[in-house]
Amino acid sequence: MGRICGPGEDTAFRDSNERTKKMAAKENHDVTRRRVLATAGLSAGGLLAFAQSGVAQQRTKRAEERAEKAQEKAKETEKDQARVSAPEDLMREHAVLHRLLLIYERIAARQSRGEEWPAKTLSESARLIQRFVEEYHQKLEEDYVFPAFEKAGRDTDLVAVLRKQHDAATALTRSILKRTPVSPRKRPM
């Protein structure tokens, strides 16, 4: 049950009650203010995160676009390198043959001086000449280049000499492969 107040107590009670209400209102205001600030902070953080994600997405998109352009450029460069003219291709193949013949010359020089020479290197070089030069390069020349010259009636004497050189090179390669003690490797499939 409620307490009965005297004449002076009622005012004190009211004052106390009003102070309590003010404090509660102030606390409520503080709580509300905290909520507003927290909500605003979260909202601002959310907006910032959203904005940053948009920036990050734009940066990612730009980076992807740059990567795609770089890949396209690399493909174009690769295509340009693949577009080698037939004469340039023959010249490159002759450069490979020239390097292999330098190996032959060095080994022949060692043999003539009575020095040891690398049989495996000689055998592997001969196998490379057989596979690349004879079975690919010479075949292209004999099937396409030489007939074109002969049909046109141009440099037929040169073509005859080149055919003889091919035959002599094939015989030399067979001889080297027979005489080198290194067993032939299996061809890769």
| pLDDT tens, position by position, 52-82 | 556 566 767 776 787 788 788 877 777 766 6
pLDDT at 188: 46
Whether residues 95 and 170 share a domain: the answer is yes
CA 84 remoteness from chain centre: 22
Whether residues 121 and 155 share a domain: the answer is yes
114: helix, strand or coil: coil
Instruction: Record the tokens describing residue 86, joined without a space.
Output: 């037939």
What is the pLDDT averaged over residues 147-155?
94
Q: Classify residue 133 as exposed, middle or buried by CB count within 10 Å of its CB (0-12, 13-18, 19+).
A: buried
Confidence of residue 34 (pLDDT cuts 50, 70, 90): low
Higher pLDDT, 79 or 171: 171
- Which of the listed residues 83, 110, 142 is the one where a domain comes to its end? 83
- Which of the listed residues 39, 66, 83 is the one where a domain comes to its end? 83
11 located within any domain? yes
46 located within any domain? yes
2 located within any domain? no
Domain that holds residue 17: 7-83
Q: Is the pTM of this model over 0.75?
A: no
pLDDT at 54: 62
Q: Which of 44-58, 96-110, 148-162, 174-188 has the lowest mean pLDDT?
A: 44-58
- Return the ∠ at Cα 133 (arms to 88 and 149), rounded to 5°: 55
